[in-house]
Amino acid sequence: MIEVKELTKKYGERLAVDHISFSVKRGEILGFLGQNGAGKSTTMKILTGFMPATSGTASVAGFDVFENPYEVKKRIGYLPENPPIYLELLVSEYLDFVANLRGIPGAQKKQKMDAVIERCQLGEVRNRLIGNLSKGYKQRVGLAQALIHDPEVLILDEPTVGLDPKQVSEARGLIKSLRSERTVIYSTHILSEVAATCDRIIIIDQGRIVSQESINALGATGLTAKTELVVQRSSESVVRAILGVKGVQNVQSLSNGKERIIVESDASEEIMAEIAKVTVASGAGLIRMSPVQLALEDYYLNLISGKRGISI
Amino acid sequence: MKGATAIIKKEIRSYFCSPIAYVVLGVFLFVMGVIFAKFVDLYHRFNTAQQFGQAQGITLDKLATYLYQNMAFILCFVTPFLTMRLFSEEKRQNTLELLFTAPVREIEIVLGKFFSAYILMLIMLALSSFYVLFMVLWGNPEIKIIGATYLGLALALACYVSLGSLISAMTSSQAIAAVWTFIALLFLWLLQSLGQGITASWGPIQWGPTLVYISPLGHFNSFTEGLIHVKDVVYFLSFTLFTIFLTHRVVESNRWR
């Protein structure tokens, strides 16, 4: 659906996007992850035809963004970082304007507007001034604007920034509900969001792609596994015993009310069984043993700081 | 041109959603009203004088020329207030992204913006025509001259608005756009006197007449005398088209930076 090859963008001397290549399949939700200023927004602006690239190609639904921007723009719904709303208009006037701008024929306009108002839950603010709405509603109006023409591709630039937790979860639900009917590219710097909504993530740092994995594959990328042990009595000898197991890299003893031991090791079941065995044998009184889900956060921070492996 | 009509509709709606259109229309009609009252007073005095055999040759049409020259000048002050927001407000609110990612050509955006302000100015011009009604009711003006004058005003306004939208496309501050538009328009008017001041020719170019030709004032004045010269019409239309072309380039270049 979306093909990007060797895309580069320079702002004067500064390289904002550096030879990025990726592709997105139809119906996929792609998370675009990176720090502020990593080049996420720039890539999105190029894809939507807002900004030309310095070099490289990008195509959407088979149409080249630079050679055939008109066809591309018809197929894309775009929500920029700041929702592009006119504060002096009513919500309904604004959506009417966008529908006209998009060339939606008069006969379908009413029905499409009603559909998008329903979908983005704007019914109760339909006849209010956009300028008087809360941040969350403004964001939804922005989203409604991107959805009104039923685009095949949806490009959302940090759609959940500034929303309260309830609104964030609603927005995520909305984006998830678009799965399979639409292709979505979604940028954020919040990691849990990516894990909760996306099929695949691309991590971008200083204009370059540093990782491109599906969410499921992320767990098994040769990273160490973390296991949490809750015991009755932790002691030096227990820690030493666990460290003695082959494949264990690091053991840390924590105690905050309960005695906890965090073990880092290669991810294999034999090692887990061995750890359990030595812990019980050392007389620590094993209460519980559970895998700690590899935090995306760690993965991400390690990637962009350039080293793999985990430190607590 | 669906995009252009959508923009025109939205812009005119925006004008009347904020106080700006009402304030500008109100102030313009008030100032014109004051000038018209002065005009009526003058006309009355000359009429009286003429009964005693003085001030021969001063006709209603001659006086009306001054009225409309004043009006064209006052429109220089009014235009910046209507054109300042055209592009700069879009830039400030980050809404250009909406326009540029919609399947609309840039020229449609530029034309939509130009015509929305121009239509509003023409509405204003139409409202001022009730002075003509008074003149017809209590005098006998030459309707053809007034028609030519209004054509001249409409053409001059096209120039003003195109210049205003060009300057608005260059800045994201409405205030700066307004001030520079005003300075630019005033400068164009003053070129007339400047050009007349330069009598001798400097070098290969006749600077004086050239400056006079660049100023819209002389071109407009022939309309107020009831003369529709092709060269004046061409002047106003080419000025407007060239400025719209420049606006298009500026708007386009905004995205490259």
| Model pLDDT for residues A58-113, shown as the tens digit of each residue | 998 889 988 888 889 999 999 998 899 999 899 999 999 999 999 888 888 999 99
Does the distance separating the beta carbons of B103 and A73 come in below 8 Å?
yes
Report the number of distinct structural domains present in chain A.
Answer: 2
Q: How far apart are the C-alpha atoms of B40 and B42, rounded to whole Å? A: 5
Mean pLDDT estimate for chain A: 82
Res. A304 pLDDT band, cuts 50 70 90: low
Residues of A within 8 A of B95 (CB-CB) are 84-86
Pair (A197, A251) in one structural domain: no
Domain at A279, CATH number: 3.30.70.260
The answer for residues whose C-beta is within 8 angstroms of residue A165's C-beta and 6 or more apart is: none
**Of B156, B163, B157, B216, nearest in space to B192 by CA:** B216
Is A310 inside any structural domain?
no
- Is pLDDT of A221 > 50? no
Pair (A210, A236) in one structural domain: no
Pair (A164, A237) in one structural domain: no
Report the number of distinct structural domains present in chain B.
Answer: 1
Pair A78, A46: CB distance under 8 Å: no
Nearest CA in chain A to B96: A84
Is A55 inside any structural domain?
yes
Is A165 inside any structural domain?
yes
Residue that wins the pLDDT comparison between A235 and A128: A128
Give the per-residue pLDDT at A303. Answer: 67
- Is pLDDT of B24 > 50? yes
Give the per-residue pLDDT at A271. Answer: 81
Pair (A250, A134) in one structural domain: no
Sheet strands side by side (includes A208-214): A76-79, A153-157, A183-188, A29-33, A200-205, A208-214
ipTM computed for the complex: 0.86
Q: Does B93 touch chain A (CB under 8 A)?
A: yes
Pair (A135, A171) in one structural domain: yes
Residue that wins the pLDDT comparison between B147 and A266: B147
- The nearest CA of chain B is from the CA of A33 a distance in Å of 22
DSSP secondary structure letter of residue B80: H
| Model pLDDT for residues A144-196, shown as the tens digit of each residue | 999 998 898 999 998 887 778 888 888 888 888 877 778 899 888 777 677 77
- The nearest CA of chain A is from the CA of B252 a distance in Å of 10
Pair (A83, A184) in one structural domain: yes
* First-to-final CA distance of chain B: 27
Does the distance separating the beta carbons of B2 and A80 come in below 8 Å?
no
Res. A309 pLDDT band, cuts 50 70 90: very low
Q: What is the pTM of this model?
A: 0.82
- Is pLDDT of A265 > 70? yes
Give the per-residue pLDDT at B203. Answer: 62
DSSP string, A250-267: EEEEEEESEEEEEEEE-S
Res. A295 pLDDT band, cuts 50 70 90: low
| Model pLDDT for residues A111-126, shown as the tens digit of each residue | 999 999 988 888 899 9
Residue that wins the pLDDT comparison between A202 and B203: A202
Res. B181 pLDDT band, cuts 50 70 90: very high
CA angle (A230, A235, A238) in 5-degree steps: 75
Residue that wins the pLDDT comparison between A180 and A143: A143
Does the distance separating the beta carbons of B101 and A48 come in below 8 Å?
yes
Q: Does B256 touch chain A (CB under 8 A)?
A: yes
Is A255 inside any structural domain?
yes
Pair (A209, A231) in one structural domain: no
Residue range B244-251: mean pLDDT, rounded: 94
Is A69 inside any structural domain?
yes
- Using CB atoms, which residue from A74, A84, A87 is nearest to B98? A84
| Model pLDDT for residues B114-146, shown as the tens digit of each residue | 999 999 999 999 998 888 888 888 878 888 899
**Of B237, B8, B4, B2, nearest in space to B107 by CA:** B4
Give the per-residue pLDDT at B193. Answer: 83
Q: How far apart are the C-alpha atoms of B43 and B47, rounded to whole Å? A: 6
Does the distance separating the beta carbons of A102 and B255 come in below 8 Å?
no
Burial class of residue B5, CB neighbours in 10 A (0-12, 13-18, 19+): middle
Domain at A128, CATH number: 3.40.50.300
Pair (A137, A261) in one structural domain: no
The answer for residues whose C-beta is within 8 angstroms of residue A308's C-beta and 6 or more apart is: A223, A302
**Of A305, A300, A206, A211, nearest in space to A8 by CA:** A206
Is A298 inside any structural domain?
no
- Using CB atoms, which residue from B14, B95, B105 is nearest to A84? B95
Mutation to test the B interface, candidates A101, A104, A143, A145, most B Cβ within 10 Å: A101
Task: Report residue A40 as tokens.
Answer: 């996420």
Residues of A within 8 A of B2 (CB-CB) are 100, 103
- Is pLDDT of B113 > 50? yes
Pair A102, A73: CB distance under 8 Å: no
Pair (A114, A139) in one structural domain: yes
- The nearest CA of chain A is from the CA of B31 a distance in Å of 28
Q: Which domain holds residue A281?
A: 225-293
Does the distance separating the beta carbons of A70 and B103 come in below 8 Å?
yes
Pair (A245, A153) in one structural domain: no
Res. B250 pLDDT band, cuts 50 70 90: very high
Mean pLDDT estimate for chain B: 89
Phi-psi region of A24 (alpha: psi -120 to 50; beta: other; left: phi over 0): beta
Q: How far apart are the C-alpha atoms of A14 and A37, rounded to whole Å? A: 11
**Of A262, A292, A264, A289, nearest in space to A277 by CA:** A289
Strand-pairing partners, residue A248, are A265
Least confident residue range of A48-57, A273-282, B98-107, B194-203:
B194-203
- The nearest CA of chain B is from the CA of A44 a distance in Å of 11
Could you tell me which residues of chain A have a Cβ less than 8 Å from any Cβ in chain B?
Answer: 45, 48-52, 70-71, 73-74, 76, 78, 80-82, 84-89, 93, 97-98, 100-103, 145
Name the 3-class secondary structure at B204.
coil
| Model pLDDT for residues B216-233, shown as the tens digit of each residue | 888 998 998 888 999 999
Q: What percent of chain A lies above the pLDDT cut of 90?
A: 17
Pair (A198, A240) in one structural domain: no
- The nearest CA of chain A is from the CA of B35 a distance in Å of 34
Q: Which domain holds residue B232?
A: 2-47+56-197+205-256
Pair (A44, A182) in one structural domain: yes
Q: Does B255 touch chain A (CB under 8 A)?
A: yes
The helix or strand, by DSSP H or E, that contains position B234, with its residue range, turns out to be: helix B230-256
Is A16 inside any structural domain?
yes
Residues of B within 8 A of A95 (CB-CB) are none
Does the distance separating the beta carbons of B13 and A89 come in below 8 Å?
yes
Q: How far apart are the C-alpha atoms of B145 and B153, rounded to whole Å? A: 12
Pair B67, B36: CB distance under 8 Å: yes
